[in-house]
Chain A
Amino acid sequence: MRSKMLAVVAVVSMLAITLSACGPTPEPIVNTVVVQQTVPVRETVPVKQTVIVNQTSVVEVTVPVPVTATPLPNPEAIIQGVEPNAEITIWTFWLSPTFDDYVKSTIARFQEAYPGVQVNWEDHQATFQDDLRNSFAAGNAPDVINLSVGEGWVSEYATKDLLLNLDDAVPQSVKDLYYPGLWKQQLVDGKNYQFPWYQGIGVELINRQIYDQTGLKVEDFPKTVDGLPALCKTIKEKTNTLCDIRLTVNDLLSQMVYEGNVKVISDDGKQFTFDSPEAVAWLQMYVDMVSDGTVDKTVLMAEQDRTGLDLFVSGKAAFYQTGPNLIREVRANNPGLYGYLAVVQAPVGKSGVVGKGLMGISVKKDTKFPNASIALAQFFTNPRSMLEFSKIVAIYPSTPASYDDPFFATPPTAIEDSARPIAKDIISKLADIVPTIPNKADVNQIVLDAVQQALFNNVPAQQALTDAVTKANALLK
């Protein structure tokens, strides 16, 4: 009987325990976690803590706890005194829509580095120059402007006193980030007005479908400009195609200087000298090519690089000098030609200098927010921003530090990247050797008229240039 009683008590106890297990969990008396610790890192960290889980037992558990980071100085924020809540506008030249993501992400990084600065971005294309002139006239020019160094835009606006003198506005430590030749690539009265941005390397794109018919080897492509007339003659004879060569009609004086090693103005700046024997020899080279009928005259006198590029992309030219970044045009518009492309270094002129820089970023002189504007211009041209840009298109940074990245040591796989291993060496040697030219646009128009007279109107090169010097000198008085 006693054992029966014990059995009943045992069964009831088990049932009670089972039923109690099926009921609601008892509320813990304390469920607050107290962490008296500040951790100067951003990520979630495991922290040991004591948690009382019920009235009777205490256990130790490890739980992830989010903590607030204490901001560290952003290494990219190197411009001091940026105006709080500044709102600035930047104009770029022909980057949208291809590089929208890059520009937007760079602006987002800038805003992390300089919190509170509002950036408005606009991209202008074929009408960039007209838009910019009009905006200056209307008094609403952008604070930060992407200007072409190659086309002489920096000097155009700097001589009109519209840009901020960066030599005086930027500390030496910032200037030292850039190649000295590029920092000084377009001085006006000895002062610099641009942060050097992305650079290009002059390469010759070769269409092997045409070029190979000449029997010449790509490796033997002329190393100097004066080898081009003979090459064009051979191409005309063997393939009946014309050479796709362009005179930079917007800046002929520069072309004279680089290709012909011509001294265009006297040291005191009081007299033009571009009718020297060197200048005549330079012009005569083109006169001979035109009279031989070996060059496409439309491209030769085209105002825009695109005209010559379009001819090459259409597959009708044996070679064309441009930047490797524009090989993407061939791939996009004529994939059949892309497979037949070869790239060699562009021939050098008699000056021996490979060329001048491509793009810069300037700051408007009367901006309301000079420090924020300088910061943005500097940010776009800092080593990290340019390295990231280089990774998406074949452009080259103007900061030596960018080339320390393993990316530049990687062997090229696509033809667009074939200049990458030698880029640092070439970019470090870019320099503007053209002196400041007063009334540059007018003088260039005078030279253009003279060049056309010699090329197409049988006026002797010497006479055309001497007449042009007389007219140009009149502008100096």
Chain B
Amino acid sequence: MAKRFSLTPYLFLTPALIAIAVFILFPIGAVCYYSFTDYDIVTPPKWIGLENYSNLVHDPTFWKALSHSLIYLIVTPILIVLSIALAIIINRNLRGIHIFRALFYVPAVSGSIAIGIAWRWLFDAQGGLINGFLVWLGVLKEPLQWLAEPAYTLPIAMLMTIWMGVGYYAMIFLAGLQNVPEELYDAAEIDGASSLQKHWYISVPGLRPQIVFVFVISSLAALKVFEEILVLTNRTGGILDSGVTMVFYLWRQAFRLSHAGYASAIAIALLILTLAFSVFNVRLLERGIEAD
């Protein structure tokens, strides 16, 4: 018996499809087109074929930005480990634990620009808290200009990303931990397992779906890092481009140098990279779900 065609589901889908077309598909198409043009935002684009991509391949700053973005992925495993540890610590029925849980979540709901400014003060060369503390301890003889040292730009930005994210991801792991059956811990205790063994053999395997999920979203966020670099380096990208990432370089080309066509080519390169990562992550996620 042939199925009867019904228009109703398509009508329900239409608003969402229009929104996706206008706000996602059209911009992607436009960026794709601009990547083949010489476009300065204010005057009409001129078609130049593959010139932007050819320049991109020979642009050392692009490769530096790409390498910085890949280095930035280091935050992902660190975030996962720290968030799980924090989730285990706050997964206790201690008095006032709700207050601690809220406090750890504060960075997640604070604006990244405000946090960036606060971190800039922390690392300030003259009178910053970090310098003051290290000089007081005797670790430093005189204050260090942290944010003007190329070697420290990226690590400080990564530290800030971790600080901002750990509370948020800990909440995800906390929800996962509360789904792990209590009997498993009781059985392990009867078997003489230590606290560390209980968490290693029960908590961590129990959090597998959450770990995969956090891995996916935090690695994509790391590839797209921008605000931390913008604020910490005062919109410069750091001395000797030490903090320039893919998105920062895209922003600089588009809005500082008015090379929107070239910036579009960078955006397409970033799209390909994140797409590849997403496919990898989705496969990982599927494998994780199958394993469970």
User: Is chain B a partner of chain A in the same complex?
Assistant: yes
Interface membership of B197, Cβ < 8 A:
no
* Contact indicator A136/B42 (Cβ below 8 Å): yes
Separation of A142 and B43 alpha carbons in the complex (Å): 16
* Contact indicator A314/B127 (Cβ below 8 Å): yes
Separation of A136 and B127 alpha carbons in the complex (Å): 43
Interface membership of B142, Cβ < 8 A:
yes
CB distance from B228 to the nearest CB of A (A): 16
* Contact indicator B126/A242 (Cβ below 8 Å): yes
Interface membership of B236, Cβ < 8 A:
yes
* Contact indicator A441/B240 (Cβ below 8 Å): no
Q: Which residues of A contact B255 (CB under 8 A)?
A: 129-130, 133
Interface membership of A445, Cβ < 8 A:
yes
* Contact indicator A133/B236 (Cβ below 8 Å): no
* Contact indicator A307/B40 (Cβ below 8 Å): no
Residue of A nearest to B148 (CB): A297
Q: Which residues of A contact B217 (CB under 8 A)?
A: none
* Contact indicator A303/B234 (Cβ below 8 Å): yes
Q: Which of A7-15, A89-97, A449-457 contacts B (4 or more CB under 8 A)?
A: A449-457
Interface membership of B172, Cβ < 8 A:
no
Interface membership of A225, Cβ < 8 A:
no
Partner-A contacts on B (CB < 8 A):
40-43, 125-127, 142, 145, 147-148, 150, 234-236, 239-240, 255-258
Chain A to chain B: the 8 pairs with minimum beta-carbon distance, closest first: A297-B148, A136-B42, A316-B126, A133-B41, A298-B148, A303-B235, A137-B41, A441-B257
Interface membership of A240, Cβ < 8 A:
yes
* Contact indicator B42/A304 (Cβ below 8 Å): no
Residue of A nearest to B126 (CB): A316
* Contact indicator B43/A296 (Cβ below 8 Å): no
CB distance from A439 to the nearest CB of B (A): 10
Contacting A316 at CB < 8 Å: which of B127, B142, B257? Answer: B127
Q: A297-B239, A301-B148 are in contact. Are A307 and B234 (CB under 8 A)?
A: yes
* Contact indicator A298/B258 (Cβ below 8 Å): no
Name 23 A/B residue pairs within 8 A (Cβ), A-sorted.
A129-B255, A133-B41, A134-B41, A137-B42, A160-B40, A160-B42, A162-B42, A241-B126, A242-B125, A296-B126, A296-B148, A297-B239, A298-B145, A298-B147, A301-B148, A301-B234, A303-B235, A304-B234, A316-B126, A317-B126, A441-B258, A455-B239, A456-B150
Contacting A456 at CB < 8 Å: which of B40, B239, B256, B257? Answer: B239
Separation of A137 and B40 alpha carbons in the complex (Å): 9
Residue of B nearest to A307 (CB): B234
Partner-B contacts on A (CB < 8 A):
129-130, 133-134, 136-137, 157, 160-162, 240-242, 249, 296-298, 300-304, 307, 311, 314, 316-317, 441-442, 445, 452-453, 455-457
* Contact indicator B40/A301 (Cβ below 8 Å): no
Q: Which residues of B contact A241 (CB under 8 A)?
A: 126
Residue of A nearest to B150 (CB): A456
Residue of A nearest to B39 (CB): A137
Q: Which residues of A contact B127 (CB under 8 A)?
A: 314, 316
Residue of B nearest to A136 (CB): B42
Q: Which residues of A contact B239 (CB under 8 A)?
A: 297, 301, 452, 455-456
Separation of A241 and B126 alpha carbons in the complex (Å): 8
Q: Which residues of A contact B234 (CB under 8 A)?
A: 298, 301-304, 307
Apart from the given pairs A241-B126, A445-B257, A456-B240, 4 other A-B contacts in the complex at a CB distance below 8 Å: A297-B145, A297-B239, A302-B236, A453-B240
Separation of A314 and B120 alpha carbons in the complex (Å): 14
Separation of A452 and B244 alpha carbons in the complex (Å): 14
Q: Which residues of B contact A296 (CB under 8 A)?
A: 125-126, 145, 148
Q: Which residues of A contact B142 (CB under 8 A)?
A: 240
CB distance from B146 to the nearest CB of A (A): 9
* Contact indicator B236/A249 (Cβ below 8 Å): yes
Separation of A11 and B126 alpha carbons in the complex (Å): 105
Separation of A452 and B258 alpha carbons in the complex (Å): 22
CB distance from A337 to the nearest CB of B (A): 14
Q: Which residues of B contact A302 (CB under 8 A)?
A: 234, 236
Contacting B258 at CB < 8 Å: which of A133, A161, A249, A314? Answer: A133
Q: Which residues of A contact B43 (CB under 8 A)?
A: 160-162
CB distance from A208 to the nearest CB of B (A): 18
CB distance from B129 to the nearest CB of A (A): 14
